[in-house]
Amino acid sequence: MEDKSKDIIVCRCEEVTMGEVREWIAKGYDTFDELKRLLRVGMGPCQGRGCREIIMREIARGTGRPMASVDPGTFRPPVKPVKLGVLAKGGDN
């Protein structure tokens, strides 16, 4: 029986499939930051809000580690999308 879950799009922003994530985890890349550098997961407009949890669960499953021990990776500002107009206004000074 063929595993159809490999074709599921995990990161919609970068169109990364579950099969790609599993392939790189099997090669030894078992942190979110490593997968981010290789596959660009978490680097799209949603900044990982759509895929981070799924990929972390897959890392835990693929490595046999508990989910609590999987590092969520590096977050860099802005954590949420910010409209350019808000930044251009500056502070209340």
pLDDT of residue 92: 61
Residue 8 has pLDDT above 60, yes or no: yes
Q: What is the mean pLDDT of residues 13-24?
A: 95
pLDDT of residue 1: 60
For residue 19, name the pLDDT band (cuts at 50, 70, 90).
very high
d(CA 31, CA 64): 13
For residue 88, name the pLDDT band (cuts at 50, 70, 90).
confident
Task: Give pLDDT tens digits for 30-78.
Answer: 999 999 999 999 988 888 888 999 999 999 999 999 999 999 988 777 6
Domains of the chain: 4-89 (1.10.10.1100)
Q: Three-state DSSP class for 9?
A: strand
Amino acid at 17: T
pTM for this structure?
0.77
